[in-house]
Amino acid sequence: MLFSKLSEYYDRLSSIASRLSMIEVMAEIFKDASANEVRPIVYITQGVLSPSFEGIEFGMAEKMVQESVALATGVPKEEVEREYRKLGDMGLAAESIKKRSRLKRMTSDRLTIMEFYNKMLKIAETSGSGSKDAKIKLLASVMAEATPEEAKYAAKYPMDALRLGLGDATILEALSVAYCGGRESKDKLENAYNLCSDLGLVGETIAKKGISAIEKFKVTIFKPIRPALAERLPTAEQILEKMHGESAVEHKYDGFRCQIHKDGKKVKIFSRRLENTTEMFPDIVEAVINEVKVDRVILDGEALAYSEETDEFLPFQKTIQRKRKHGIKEKAIALPLHLFVFDIMLLGNKDMMDAPYIERRKALTELLKHGSILRPSTMIITTKPKELEEFFEDAIENGLEGIVAKDPQAKYVAGARKFSWIKLKRSYKGELSDTLDLVIVGYYIGKGMRSEFGFGGLLCATYNEKRDMFETISRIGSGFTEEQMVELRKTLEKVAVKEKPVRVDAVIKPDFWVYPKYVVTIKADEITRSPTHTCGRSQEKSGIETGFALRFPRLVGESAIRSDKSPEEATTTKEVSEMYKNQKRVSLKE
């Protein structure tokens, strides 16, 4: 397929608001492409060059893309910048300038998708002395070959600004429609994706080998598994009832989620967002090599700072100091970490994913029985609500977040939020004591004293997994420090868009819409119903449509943005609905 054809498809996608229509168009793209082209098409559509764990990035700032456009078209850099500021979109600016460029445009009839992708990959792989100028020239060569329509997406891609409105779930459904004739195989594709975290590989596999090959996906060393997620319930009684009377209960640690992959002396560590964070944790890597006495293993755990002198966990504000690019070894000595391991997914050559939790725990305990840096998480098995409550209180007293209850017979459910894992975050007097991780979808200009910061608040949303949409739940105007307001304005103006993003469902309008990319942690007094928000929107008996909203919401945490969570890992609409029901139950008991 020619890149010009893909650009035409992207234009169609950009004008569509219906998710079902997006699935149909995306399926059409896959049918039109060769099997070899599916993988790069998936990556380009995602706005990446490869899965996050491979760490391949363009390394091109906004100004560099502007210089490439100028070089390709013979237009002064100042004119490119003016066009960009005027249109608010680098792709539209490139298209506009390309249409009126004084330089003769080369034909792009020979620019295929594979050629375009490989040229872009070469830009990312260019490094060392003089790499900045080399990257600019390489992108300019693509722009010089491109039609105005192609130039639009060639400019957007390196800036992570395609913003087509397609989430991973939508691409998975499109693959199912394209190669299986309907959406019924989406769950099988999603399971394969959960095991390998590489959507391009999933697309290529079904295109070349069919659904039977998708069904054979297994855990692979150094391909991170999308982490299991926990549901929420407010009482010990409800947890035990959900787990048929017996539960394994672990301390819940507030640190860095670390998925450890070991093969001989080679160790890689992946974050909650499945990014390769190995270099950040040299002390953990060394401990894995010395303390884990098997050649091949995949472990799931949480790393946090721990004081041997006082025998206590240090607050997350201390642990987060280990997140750095420079001075890593010095910080590792000053602030050593312990890794509390709570699951095992591969042991030797044995896939442990489908083994019951109790069996995985036994293997984990045996493996780490002589460890000092790596330790099994603290765990009890109980059938008594009072014992579970006491264990919860013990976790809180030790400075931890709470507990996670696990079904002793459940398998490891990758990438899904199931009741096989349940967090206990208690509500008192009908008030909301838990925090929510929400996606920023808009922001407001500051007024009064805040006008100097150019920032006055956020419009935030939950993630609706079924719809693959972000639904608004609150306008946040409290809890910001001056530093956070400056940080948020600088960050958000880079992803601000003129029109409401396709995946955002909202009835109120902020001063600036924001492409859903960043997550913040919010505290509120309670969840209420409101006609101004779309989270869980439904019709009341009165006939008025209302959604869930937050009462007295405010930002919490030292850092404004949660860099460890993707938008799809934010609090879901389903979770909010359950929290609202539990809140009402607690209120009735008072």
CB 295 within 8 A of CB 261: no
Decide if 480 is inside a domain: yes
Question: Are 370 and 302 found together in one domain?
Answer: yes
Give percent above pLDDT 90 in the chain: 67
CA dist 227 and 413 (Å) reads: 8
Question: Are 338 and 396 found together in one domain?
Answer: yes
Calculate the alpha carbon distances from 38 to 34, 100, 111, 174, 411 in Å. 7, 33, 16, 12, 32
Mean pLDDT for 406-410 is 96
Question: Are 403 and 324 found together in one domain?
Answer: yes
Q: Catalogue the E-assigned strands of 86-226.
A: none
Question: Are 409 and 314 found together in one domain?
Answer: yes
| DSSP code of residue 48 | -
- Say if residue 17 is exposed, middle or buried (CB neighbours under 10 Å; 0-12, 13-18, 19+): exposed
pLDDT recorded at residue 101:
76
Please give the structure tokens belonging to residue 417: 């939020």
CA dist 95 and 147 (Å) reads: 8
CA dist 199 and 568 (Å) reads: 15
Q: Which position has the token pair 């790596």?
A: 374
Decide if 196 is inside a domain: no
Residue 585 pLDDT grade (very low, low, confident, very high; cuts 50, 70, 90): low
pLDDT recorded at residue 449:
58
pLDDT recorded at residue 302:
93
Question: Strand 469-476 to strand 436-444: parallel, antiparallel, or no bridges (unpaired)?
Answer: unpaired
Please give the structure tokens belonging to residue 377: 């998480």
Mean pLDDT for 458-473 is 95
Span 409-423, pLDDT tens digits: 999 999 888 889 999
- The residues, any chain, with a CB within 8 Å of residue 379's CB and separated by 6 or more, are 248, 249, 250, 251, 342, 361
Catalytic residues: 252
Decide if 535 is inside a domain: yes
Q: For residue 587, is pLDDT > 60?
A: no
Q: Mean pLDDT in the chain?
A: 89
Decide if 39 is inside a domain: no
Decide if 60 is inside a domain: yes
CA dist 456 and 140 (Å) reads: 39
CA dist 401 and 308 (Å) reads: 20
CATH number of the domain to which 329 belongs:
3.30.470.30
Question: Are 262 and 399 found together in one domain?
Answer: yes
Q: For residue 245, is pLDDT > 90?
A: yes
Span 210-230, pLDDT tens digits: 999 999 999 999 999 999 988
Span 261-283, pLDDT tens digits: 999 999 999 999 999 999 989 99
CB 226 within 8 A of CB 187: no
Decide if 174 is inside a domain: no
Please give the structure tokens belonging to residue 239: 């947890």
- Spatial strand order in the sheet of 229-233: 229-233, 417-424, 402-406, 247-252, 379-382
Span 150-198, pLDDT tens digits: 999 999 999 988 888 899 999 999 999 999 999 999 999 999 999 999 9
Q: Which position has the token pair 């041997």?
A: 308
Decide if 496 is inside a domain: yes
Question: Strand 247-252 to strand 379-382: parallel, antiparallel, or no bridges (unpaired)?
Answer: antiparallel
Question: Strand 457-464 to strand 436-444: parallel, antiparallel, or no bridges (unpaired)?
Answer: antiparallel
In degrees and rounded to multiples of 5, residue 199 shows phi and psi of: -65, -30
Q: How many CB atoms lie within 10 A of CB 453?
A: 17
Question: Are 313 and 405 found together in one domain?
Answer: yes
Span 312-351, pLDDT tens digits: 777 666 666 677 666 777 776 667 788 999 999 999 999 9
Question: Are 389 and 446 found together in one domain?
Answer: no
Please give the structure tokens belonging to residue 551: 């009462």
Question: Are 409 and 502 found together in one domain?
Answer: no
Identify the domain containing residue 95 by its residue range.
Answer: 48-159
Number of structural domains, the chain?
3
- Residue 91's H or E segment, with its range, is helix 90-99
Question: Are 78 and 155 found together in one domain?
Answer: yes
- The residues, any chain, with a CB within 8 Å of residue 525's CB and separated by 6 or more, are 431, 432, 550, 551, 552
Question: Are 131 and 261 found together in one domain?
Answer: no
- The residues, any chain, with a CB within 8 Å of residue 310's CB and separated by 6 or more, are none
Decide if 334 is inside a domain: yes
- Say if residue 54 is exposed, middle or buried (CB neighbours under 10 Å; 0-12, 13-18, 19+): middle
